[in-house]
Amino acid sequence: MRRGKKEDFIMRKRHALILAGLFVAATAATAATAVAADYDRYERGDRYRDRGEYAPPPPRRAAEVPPPRHAQYGQPYFFAHLGIFDPNSDSSVLPDGGLEGYDSGGSFELGIGSRVSPVFAIDGTFGGYGAERGSDEVTVVPLTIGGRLIIPHPFIEPYIGAGLGLYATHLEDAFRAIDDSSTDFGGYLSLGADFWLNPRVALNFEGKYHWVESTFDSNIGSEDVNLGGWTANLGVRVAF
Protein backbone atom coordinates (compact mmCIF):
# COMPACT_ATOMS: atom_id res chain seq x y z
CA MET A 1 0.00 0.00 0.00
CA ARG A 2 2.75 2.36 0.89
CA ARG A 3 4.51 1.46 -2.31
CA GLY A 4 1.43 2.32 -4.37
CA LYS A 5 1.03 5.68 -2.66
CA LYS A 6 4.69 6.47 -3.24
CA GLU A 7 4.45 5.70 -6.97
CA ASP A 8 1.30 7.81 -7.23
CA PHE A 9 3.10 10.74 -5.55
CA ILE A 10 6.00 10.46 -7.96
CA MET A 11 3.66 10.48 -10.97
CA ARG A 12 1.87 13.59 -9.70
CA LYS A 13 5.22 15.31 -9.15
CA ARG A 14 6.26 14.56 -12.73
CA HIS A 15 2.96 15.88 -14.08
CA ALA A 16 3.38 19.07 -12.03
CA LEU A 17 6.90 19.61 -13.39
CA ILE A 18 5.69 19.08 -16.97
CA LEU A 19 2.84 21.56 -16.50
CA ALA A 20 5.23 24.10 -14.95
CA GLY A 21 7.62 23.74 -17.89
CA LEU A 22 4.81 24.25 -20.40
CA PHE A 23 3.64 27.32 -18.50
CA VAL A 24 7.15 28.85 -18.50
CA ALA A 25 7.58 28.16 -22.23
CA ALA A 26 4.21 29.74 -23.05
CA THR A 27 5.04 32.79 -20.94
CA ALA A 28 8.44 33.22 -22.65
CA ALA A 29 6.89 32.94 -26.12
CA THR A 30 4.24 35.53 -25.27
CA ALA A 31 6.88 37.93 -23.91
CA ALA A 32 9.07 37.51 -26.99
CA THR A 33 6.11 38.24 -29.27
CA ALA A 34 5.30 41.39 -27.31
CA VAL A 35 8.91 42.61 -27.42
CA ALA A 36 9.09 41.96 -31.16
CA ALA A 37 5.87 43.90 -31.71
CA ASP A 38 7.13 46.83 -29.65
CA TYR A 39 10.43 46.84 -31.55
CA ASP A 40 8.57 46.70 -34.87
CA ARG A 41 6.43 49.68 -33.88
CA TYR A 42 9.53 51.57 -32.75
CA GLU A 43 11.42 50.92 -35.97
CA ARG A 44 8.58 51.28 -38.46
CA GLY A 45 6.20 53.63 -36.69
CA ASP A 46 2.52 53.27 -35.96
CA ARG A 47 0.50 55.03 -38.66
CA TYR A 48 -3.00 53.93 -37.76
CA ARG A 49 -3.08 52.12 -34.43
CA ASP A 50 -6.69 51.01 -34.84
CA ARG A 51 -6.02 49.53 -38.30
CA GLY A 52 -2.70 47.98 -37.41
CA GLU A 53 -0.93 49.67 -40.35
CA TYR A 54 2.67 50.75 -40.07
CA ALA A 55 4.88 53.31 -41.81
CA PRO A 56 8.59 54.12 -41.61
CA PRO A 57 9.43 56.56 -38.81
CA PRO A 58 10.50 60.12 -39.68
CA PRO A 59 14.23 60.66 -40.22
CA ARG A 60 16.28 61.28 -37.14
CA ARG A 61 16.96 64.87 -36.33
CA ALA A 62 20.50 66.22 -36.38
CA ALA A 63 21.70 63.25 -38.40
CA GLU A 64 25.28 63.68 -39.53
CA VAL A 65 25.64 64.47 -43.22
CA PRO A 66 28.92 63.31 -44.74
CA PRO A 67 31.00 66.11 -46.27
CA PRO A 68 30.98 66.35 -50.08
CA ARG A 69 33.68 64.40 -51.86
CA HIS A 70 35.49 66.42 -54.48
CA ALA A 71 38.72 66.41 -56.43
CA GLN A 72 39.36 62.79 -55.57
CA TYR A 73 42.60 60.98 -56.26
CA GLY A 74 43.28 60.92 -59.99
CA GLN A 75 40.21 63.01 -60.81
CA PRO A 76 40.78 65.43 -63.74
CA TYR A 77 39.27 68.90 -63.90
CA PHE A 78 38.90 71.90 -66.19
CA PHE A 79 39.33 75.53 -65.09
CA ALA A 80 38.83 78.96 -66.62
CA HIS A 81 39.82 82.40 -65.28
CA LEU A 82 39.22 86.05 -66.13
CA GLY A 83 40.93 88.91 -64.35
CA ILE A 84 43.26 91.88 -64.44
CA PHE A 85 46.99 92.32 -65.04
CA ASP A 86 49.05 94.77 -62.98
CA PRO A 87 52.41 95.43 -64.74
CA ASN A 88 55.70 95.59 -62.86
CA SER A 89 57.07 99.02 -61.93
CA ASP A 90 60.60 98.68 -63.32
CA SER A 91 61.69 101.79 -65.24
CA SER A 92 60.57 101.95 -68.86
CA VAL A 93 63.10 104.64 -69.83
CA LEU A 94 66.31 103.07 -68.55
CA PRO A 95 68.04 100.26 -70.48
CA ASP A 96 66.92 96.75 -69.51
CA GLY A 97 63.89 98.16 -67.73
CA GLY A 98 60.29 97.15 -67.37
CA LEU A 99 56.74 98.39 -67.73
CA GLU A 100 56.62 101.50 -65.56
CA GLY A 101 53.75 103.77 -66.58
CA TYR A 102 51.70 101.05 -68.26
CA ASP A 103 48.05 100.87 -67.21
CA SER A 104 46.47 97.74 -65.77
CA GLY A 105 45.11 95.41 -68.41
CA GLY A 106 43.20 92.17 -68.72
CA SER A 107 44.11 88.53 -68.32
CA PHE A 108 42.61 85.10 -68.96
CA GLU A 109 43.52 81.46 -68.39
CA LEU A 110 42.24 78.09 -69.59
CA GLY A 111 43.59 74.81 -68.33
CA ILE A 112 43.22 71.21 -67.28
CA GLY A 113 44.63 69.44 -64.27
CA SER A 114 44.46 66.42 -62.01
CA ARG A 115 44.34 65.93 -58.25
CA VAL A 116 47.10 63.33 -57.95
CA SER A 117 46.85 63.18 -54.14
CA PRO A 118 44.68 64.79 -51.46
CA VAL A 119 47.26 67.58 -51.05
CA PHE A 120 48.79 67.97 -54.51
CA ALA A 121 47.54 68.74 -58.03
CA ILE A 122 49.18 69.25 -61.43
CA ASP A 123 47.93 71.99 -63.79
CA GLY A 124 48.56 72.69 -67.45
CA THR A 125 47.62 76.26 -68.39
CA PHE A 126 47.26 78.39 -71.52
CA GLY A 127 46.59 82.07 -70.98
CA GLY A 128 47.35 85.64 -71.82
CA TYR A 129 47.71 89.10 -70.33
CA GLY A 130 48.46 92.56 -71.63
CA ALA A 131 48.63 96.28 -70.90
CA GLU A 132 48.83 99.63 -72.70
CA ARG A 133 50.40 103.06 -72.28
CA GLY A 134 48.99 105.38 -74.90
CA SER A 135 50.04 103.87 -78.23
CA ASP A 136 52.48 101.50 -76.52
CA GLU A 137 51.30 97.95 -75.96
CA VAL A 138 52.57 94.72 -74.42
CA THR A 139 51.08 91.24 -74.90
CA VAL A 140 52.22 88.03 -73.18
CA VAL A 141 50.88 84.52 -73.86
CA PRO A 142 52.14 81.90 -71.34
CA LEU A 143 51.95 78.13 -71.84
CA THR A 144 52.91 76.59 -68.50
CA ILE A 145 52.83 73.46 -66.38
CA GLY A 146 52.90 73.61 -62.61
CA GLY A 147 51.80 72.17 -59.31
CA ARG A 148 49.68 73.21 -56.35
CA LEU A 149 50.04 72.30 -52.67
CA ILE A 150 46.53 72.17 -51.20
CA ILE A 151 45.14 72.28 -47.68
CA PRO A 152 42.24 69.77 -47.95
CA HIS A 153 38.84 70.87 -46.68
CA PRO A 154 35.23 69.91 -47.57
CA PHE A 155 34.28 73.42 -48.65
CA ILE A 156 37.20 75.92 -48.80
CA GLU A 157 40.63 74.78 -49.99
CA PRO A 158 43.49 77.31 -49.97
CA TYR A 159 46.63 76.50 -51.94
CA ILE A 160 49.99 77.76 -53.17
CA GLY A 161 51.49 76.90 -56.53
CA ALA A 162 54.41 77.35 -58.89
CA GLY A 163 55.18 76.55 -62.50
CA LEU A 164 57.41 76.99 -65.54
CA GLY A 165 56.81 77.32 -69.24
CA LEU A 166 57.17 79.19 -72.51
CA TYR A 167 56.09 82.83 -72.75
CA ALA A 168 55.35 84.28 -76.19
CA THR A 169 55.75 88.07 -75.91
CA HIS A 170 55.23 91.13 -78.08
CA LEU A 171 56.14 94.73 -77.21
CA GLU A 172 55.46 97.97 -79.03
CA ASP A 173 57.24 100.86 -77.27
CA ALA A 174 57.80 104.12 -79.17
CA PHE A 175 60.26 105.62 -76.67
CA ARG A 176 62.61 102.64 -76.92
CA ALA A 177 61.85 102.13 -80.63
CA ILE A 178 60.78 98.54 -79.96
CA ASP A 179 58.31 96.67 -82.15
CA ASP A 180 59.37 93.09 -81.71
CA SER A 181 58.32 89.62 -80.57
CA SER A 182 60.11 86.92 -78.63
CA THR A 183 59.59 83.52 -77.00
CA ASP A 184 61.27 82.94 -73.66
CA PHE A 185 61.23 80.69 -70.63
CA GLY A 186 59.46 82.07 -67.58
CA GLY A 187 57.73 81.05 -64.41
CA TYR A 188 55.15 81.97 -61.84
CA LEU A 189 54.12 81.69 -58.21
CA SER A 190 50.45 81.54 -57.27
CA LEU A 191 48.24 81.80 -54.21
CA GLY A 192 44.53 81.02 -54.27
CA ALA A 193 41.52 79.18 -52.92
CA ASP A 194 38.71 76.96 -54.22
CA PHE A 195 35.20 77.48 -52.82
CA TRP A 196 33.33 74.24 -53.54
CA LEU A 197 29.66 74.71 -54.43
CA ASN A 198 29.10 70.96 -54.85
CA PRO A 199 31.33 67.88 -55.25
CA ARG A 200 32.23 68.83 -58.85
CA VAL A 201 32.08 72.63 -59.17
CA ALA A 202 34.07 75.29 -57.33
CA LEU A 203 34.49 79.03 -57.55
CA ASN A 204 38.16 79.92 -57.69
CA PHE A 205 40.14 83.03 -56.79
CA GLU A 206 43.82 83.18 -57.61
CA GLY A 207 46.63 85.70 -57.54
CA LYS A 208 49.68 84.91 -59.66
CA TYR A 209 53.00 86.65 -60.23
CA HIS A 210 54.74 86.00 -63.57
CA TRP A 211 58.47 86.31 -64.19
CA VAL A 212 59.53 86.67 -67.82
CA GLU A 213 62.28 88.72 -69.44
CA SER A 214 62.42 89.09 -73.22
CA THR A 215 65.18 90.42 -75.45
CA PHE A 216 64.04 92.90 -78.12
CA ASP A 217 65.76 94.96 -80.80
CA SER A 218 65.68 98.63 -79.77
CA ASN A 219 67.25 102.03 -80.46
CA ILE A 220 70.30 101.03 -78.41
CA GLY A 221 70.77 97.66 -80.11
CA SER A 222 68.95 95.18 -77.88
CA GLU A 223 67.29 95.28 -74.49
CA ASP A 224 66.16 92.75 -71.91
CA VAL A 225 62.74 93.97 -70.81
CA ASN A 226 60.91 92.68 -67.74
CA LEU A 227 57.37 91.81 -68.88
CA GLY A 228 56.20 90.24 -65.64
CA GLY A 229 53.63 91.35 -63.11
CA TRP A 230 50.62 90.32 -61.07
CA THR A 231 47.41 88.79 -62.36
CA ALA A 232 44.31 88.56 -60.15
CA ASN A 233 41.73 86.13 -61.53
CA LEU A 234 38.27 84.86 -60.68
CA GLY A 235 36.97 81.69 -62.28
CA VAL A 236 35.57 78.19 -61.95
CA ARG A 237 36.99 74.71 -61.54
CA VAL A 238 34.87 71.82 -62.85
CA ALA A 239 35.75 68.18 -62.15
CA PHE A 240 34.82 65.47 -64.68
Residue 123, C-beta contacts closer than 8 angstroms, at least 6 positions apart? 79, 111, 112, 113, 145, 146, 147, 148, 161, 163
Residues in the chain: 240
191-232, pLDDT tens digit by residue?
Answer: 999 999 998 899 999 999 999 999 999 888 889 999 999 999
Going along the chain from its start, the domains and CATH numbers come out as: 2-54 (no CATH), 75-239 (2.40.160.20)
| pTM of full prediction above 0.75 | no
Q: Greater confidence, 100 or 31? A: 100
Closest CA to 165 of 147, 139, 180, 184: 184
43 — pLDDT class (breaks 50, 70, 90): very low
Closest CA to 128 of 64, 84, 189, 75: 84
Is the predicted pLDDT of residue 162 greater than 60, yes or no? yes
